[in-house]
A and B are shown apart, each in its own frame.
Chain A
Amino acid sequence: MYLEEEISETEIYGKVESIIKKGGYLLSIVCSDERALGEDFVIRYFFREEGIKVLKLCVGTKFPSITSLCPAAKNYEREIRDMFGLVPEGHPDSRSLMLYPENWDPSIHPLRKDYDGKKPEFKKYGIYRYKEVFGEGINKVLVGPIHAGIIEPGHFRFSLAGEAILQLEIRHFWKHRGVEKVCEGKNPEEALRIVSRISGDNAVNISLAYLNAVETLLGIKLSQRVSYLRCVLAELERIWNHVRDLGWLFMDIGFPLPAQHLFSIQEQLMRLNKVITGHRFMFDAFSIGGVNVKIEDEEKRLIDKMLTLVEKETKEVERFAIETPSVRDRFETTGRIFRKTAMELSLCGVCARASGLKRDTRVELPYLAYKDFDVNVPISEQGDVMARFMIRVEEIYQSVNLIRGFLENLPNDNAEKQNLLFPYSWSVGNAETPRGNAFFFVMLDEKGNIYRLKYTDPSFRNWPAIQYAVLGDIIADFPLVNKSMNLSYSGNDL
């Protein structure tokens, strides 16, 4: 449980300012409708500051926007306006975020508890105004939502001066499925199945963040063995994600040979996943308090063989990238995110580490077996595509060592089951996915079902950064910058 500090609307600016001055940053903003519990709408601000600092604000119909102080808050506040109908006062952007005026009645707010579940008629209720860029010789390139390649939908609007990108505007949430509402009323085990389908390629790590929150609420103590095995799966997922991402980077600069080479390693890693968990993406490998995985001596040998291969091949790819001038020419100085931008947008994961911020949930808020192991956080100051490439490479080596460490020290113990329930109390869970920090807020009702669940994907935090990363680059570099950050659309859109 975390300490909440209840604040009033007038105090919030001072509090947030002092947290940011001390180097704290925003993890998430969670709104919940607690009118049935004798409160009002409650907005909780989660900041990372030696642990987690929680500011609680009770609001009626409007609340003060902190976007001018903390730009990272921008999209959270737009989301609260869509989902709860609370107005952020002083917010620079009055457009809707997740619910499109093209098909949704803006007076209906689905996360309110009094929403009856009826969908409004499918018709146009308003228009979405894009930003306009004027000037002589300015071209516009509109891409998406369905765009080239086998990729998820998103709409990108480039304004170009010659070939250089002057402005990029992104519109997301095409894939908004209403995950948070779907989870409400489900029991934690059912919700786990849904949660692992938020973003398929990070299913394991996202589930870990969720389990972290739920198991705290239910008072479940894990055995050491379960916590080690869970970390093995988490690191295996990190490896296959990073291997694939490196492959796509080569694909986007027209080097299919190393790319296909990496894809074939990815394929072997996914087949290994199937051997140990029965599923190529390791879906449904976890249950509340447990893990369904088969790791005996034979599987250990298989994993070890695969890790040796991954290590060797990654070294080869690393050398190839460093020694090939045409690769360096495309990777270096492309898509730079400066440290200041990264701080203001409170980035996480590879993007933050490539811009010189030492942010890794495994170190900052250690969980499961990471408490017993040292995780080195690779850092780069460059902030360009090359930096993100090298950080992924370093993390692959790191994950290989971690898995070896977990498997060598695999404990054999059983925890006695406890089951406690504190109704209407809440908990948060954090985990480091291959993309960055996954954050869960979970509140259970008196029957132990989900009352409110909020998930913040690393992609939700990192997507705005791409609009700054591409400035001044040519449009042909955009796919490369995009892939180097490799953000999830489905995790962002929920």
Chain B
Amino acid sequence: MFFLLKRSFRVKTEDLKVKHKKVISLFIREVDTGSCNACEIEVANLNNPYYDVERFGIKFVASPKHADVLLITGCVTRNMLIPMIKAYENAPAPKFVLTVGDCTAECPYFKDSYAVEGPVSKHLPVHVHVPGCPPEPAQVIEGLLKLSHFADKDL
């Protein structure tokens, strides 16, 4: 039983637009600041057998205190502003911010709302942004690899 994975569907390293350098690994804490949960689902899909992001040395961790990268989704609601900043402050340096999804930058749907304080770049330094509503998992991996190049240079 349970043998379903179709090899041909699997995202191959050589198909990605960004090259994987085997020098640095990233630990990620995901922070949702008001997305519609589609971005969360695509980020969670990175762990399924088709994307299997751990083969790049990328791992999701439970606390910002264990993280190198904050992966931020959503439009930064008023209520999530302080938790987001606290999470950033609690991550040990050097730390990097990756924003995923259109909501984190231009926020085409909710930017005029009374409850939204975005974009993320107004409050935190953003290193790499992955556009899309929501971006597909392969694009998120490319964003992460781009960030690893960036981190590699920085260290």
Contact = CB atoms under 8 A, between A and B. Distances in A.
Question: Taking each of B38, B83, B115, which has the highest tally of chain A beta carbons within 10 Å of its own beta carbon?
Answer: B115
Contacts of B64: 146
A263 interface: yes
Contacts of A280: 42, 134, 136
A174 interface: yes
B4 A313 contact: yes
Contacts of B1: 316, 320
Q: Interface centre among A146, A194, A313, by most B CB within 10 Å?
A: A146
A468 B39 CA distance: 30
B40 interface: yes
Contacts of B80: 145, 153, 174-175
A257 B37 contact: no
A281 interface: yes
A200 B2 contact: no
B110 A182 contact: yes
Contacts, number: 156
Contact of A263 (B49, B62, B74, B75): B49
A175 B50 contact: no
Contacts of B32: 146, 151-153, 175
A264 B64 CA distance: 29
Contact of B81 (A103, A117, A177, A193): A103
A443 interface: no
B133 interface: yes
Chain A interface category by residue count:
35 or more
A182 B36 CA distance: 15
A197 interface: yes
Interface in A169-189: 173-179, 181-182
Contacts of A266: 45, 48
B78 interface: yes
Contacts of B104: none
Given A182-B113, A281-B41, A281-B134, 12 more contacts: A150-B60, A153-B33, A175-B34, A176-B34, A178-B114, A194-B110, A198-B36, A200-B38, A263-B48, A265-B4, A267-B45, A281-B38
6 contacts: A115-B114, A146-B31, A174-B77, A201-B37, A244-B41, A488-B37
Interface of B: 1-2, 4-6, 9, 29-45, 47-50, 60, 62-64, 74-75, 77-83, 87, 109-110, 112-117, 133-134, 136
4 closest A-B pairs by beta carbon, nearest first, are A200-B38, A148-B62, A178-B113, A178-B115
